[in-house]
Amino acid sequence: MDSLRKISHLKKNFYAALKELTQNTSPWDRWKVIMAYPDASVLDGLEKLLVYIQQPVHMNVQLQQGGGLGLGHYQIIIGGWCDRVNGGQEEIDIFASVLLEWFLNPEKWAQVTYDVSTDQDYTDTTLFEQGIMIDSIVGPNTIIQNVSDNEFRYEFTINFRS
């Protein structure tokens, strides 16, 4: 599989897993997931905390003994953005705690089932079944630029293999 297709598949899987959580799990159901960094039109109509998923970045490939290529190492940024009307600092802090707990606990992220369409349709699949193994999560990083006093934003970097 070429690199661009692989990255697209990875992003779709993260989106589908988090989208499933926002539809069926508290407190995730208080948030909305989108598949890109939000533009101004999304932020102008903010109705709840927004979870955004940026493009994964291929960082390196682990070589196997004997010279074969192993798993690729990737990073993906997942952020949260809200304003005072939609929970403010308290809601963004809850988001940070919940996201950290979810990604740090393989029993949680490996068991959430979702449907996703990549080159084929998958139903009731998981990140683990799609070959995604979370290594670590770093954050929250407070993002200050372009944020007014009424907006709150954190970003997390998830390191994973696939």
Indicate the domain borders of the chain: 3-161
The torsion angle over the Cα atoms of residues 110, 114, 4 and 159, rounded to 10 degrees, is: -30
What is the pTM assigned to this prediction? 0.89
Return the CATH architecture of domain 3-161.
2-Layer Sandwich (3.30)
pLDDT of 159 higher than 60? yes
Euclidean distance between CA atoms 141 and 79, whole angstroms: 9
More confident residue, 52 or 63: 52
pLDDT in tens, 130-145: 999 999 999 988 776 6
